[in-house]
Amino acid sequence: MINFNCYLITDRHQTGGRSLTAVIEEALKSGIKAVQLREKDLNANELFELAQSMKKLTSQYGAKLFINDRIDIAIAVEAYGVHLGQKSFSPENVREVLNSSQLTVHDSRLLIGVSTHSLKEAKKAEQDGADFITIGPLFYTPSKARYGEPLGVDIIKRVKAGIKIPVFAIGGIKKNNIKDAMDADADGVALISAIISANEPSKAAREIIQELETRKEERGKRNTNS
């Protein structure tokens, strides 16, 4: 079940030398309810150890842990889900692995998120069994500049009209442009630096969550009046 609208993605290279777990804990204290562990340059053992720490931390604060790509580690630490890229296994493949393993990851089935960059990829992800997607990059972000121009908020409207699963905006998401993403009907936002790189991660997370709640209330009022 996707009952969160702020999806925090890790990058220990953006913490300014602070411990990643310390930064994540500050965000969790402020109400972050979903964290994706995405540390692609770690070896399997290093990632497993970090995933164990993150699972303990997220469980302590009642948050959901997703592991990027590594289904084996997600199963091993009993994560809530996995997040797949376009070059990863397909959601369908992941379901087959889980069914054959006969392992219970948590009280319900393992949730699967997929990174997408177009309506075509979004439709394919839903067709293959994804539970939700991220779509982007919406705005300019240095880490994605090599992939070309940002997609802009209109992509959210097109994707939302074409699929039924939740859609999270990603790429250059900051407090001051959340309104644009949510007004385009995004179900939530996924972000890294807005919290991970913040001088005060707890404060940054709290302000972003408040902004999301404000936009959610405004959307509810619009829907009621329409």
| Domain spans of the chain, in order of start | 6-225
pTM, to two decimals:
0.94
Looking at residue 35, what is its pLDDT? 98
Q: Angle at CA 64, nearest 5°, toward 63 and 68?
A: 140
* Cβ within 8 Å of residue 120, ≥6 positions away: none
How high is the mean pLDDT in each 10-residue block of the chain (226 residues)?
95 97 98 98 97 98 97 93 93 84 58 96 97 94 72 96 98 96 96 97 98 91 76
Residue 107 has what pLDDT? Answer: 44
Strand-strand pairing, 111-116 and 132-135: parallel
6-225 CATH pick, 1.10.287.1770, 3.20.20.70, 3.30.450.20, 3.40.50.12280: 3.20.20.70
Report the SS3 class of residue 31.
Answer: coil
Would you state the pLDDT for residue 144?
Answer: 66
Q: H-helix or E-strand containing 34?
A: strand 34-37
Angstrom distance (rounded) from CA 105 to CA 98: 9
pLDDT at 83: 97
The SS3 call for residue 213 is helix
Residue corresponding to tokens 């240095």: 142
Task: Show the 3-state SS of 133-202.
Answer: EEECCCCCCHHHHHHCCCCCCHHHHHHHHHCCCCEEEECCCCHHHHHHHHHCCCCEEEECHHHHCCCCHH
Determine the number of helices (DSSP H) and then strands (DSSP E) in the chain: 9, 8
